[in-house]
Chains A and B, each alone.
Chain A
Amino acid sequence: DSGVTQTPKHLITATGQRVTLRCSPRSGDLSVYWYQQSLDQGLQFLIQYYNGEERAKGNILERFSAQQFPDLHSELNLSSLELGDSALYFCASSNPDRESNTIYFGEGSWLTVV
């Protein structure tokens, strides 16, 4: 168990809908990362937050947004969903002051858009 918690584990929704994925980082970790894993795209970096502030942005669509709250949990919001958004969404966390920059992953949230 990495200590990173993601909910929900599985989600099925229709095209055009909006969903929110939630992540609780490891205790003490200030950084949260979001990744998308699909069969044909591998592991794509979406966005990173550090202590509530956006720190790095990757291939995140405009339909997607994220935030990190004062208690350090993070949410990834996906809107106007398309079939191609079906993927496994991972959250990871790290504390640069501890364990030399290793990031630890949650078990992921499976999103199926039908």
Chain B
Amino acid sequence: NAGVMQNPRHLVRRRGQEARLRCSPMKGHSHVYWYRQLPEEGLKFMVYLQKENIIDESGMPKERFSAEFPKEGPSILRIQQVVRGDSAAYFCASSPQASGGSYEQYFGPGTRLTVT
């Protein structure tokens, strides 16, 4: 049973380019979460999605960031016009259900974004 998969593992972008990060949840999991971790800092919640729905995007910056989880295919976190401050590790997690947040989340290996 494959775990949460993320790709690419490392991504380098120049300022102003777009970054697309992909996440495939564990088999049987329909809830996906994205987190950002800056160097030497803790995980910051960004967005929670179910298939075709954004449930909670309270942690997403208002501009340049978007996320989707289509009916088919992986979840995508998209960052437009990247800036140096976007350099971070982006982790995706999945859970089978999320009734009241009671189900533990399983994390992918992360995508390390470097903006030059």
Do A and B assemble together? no
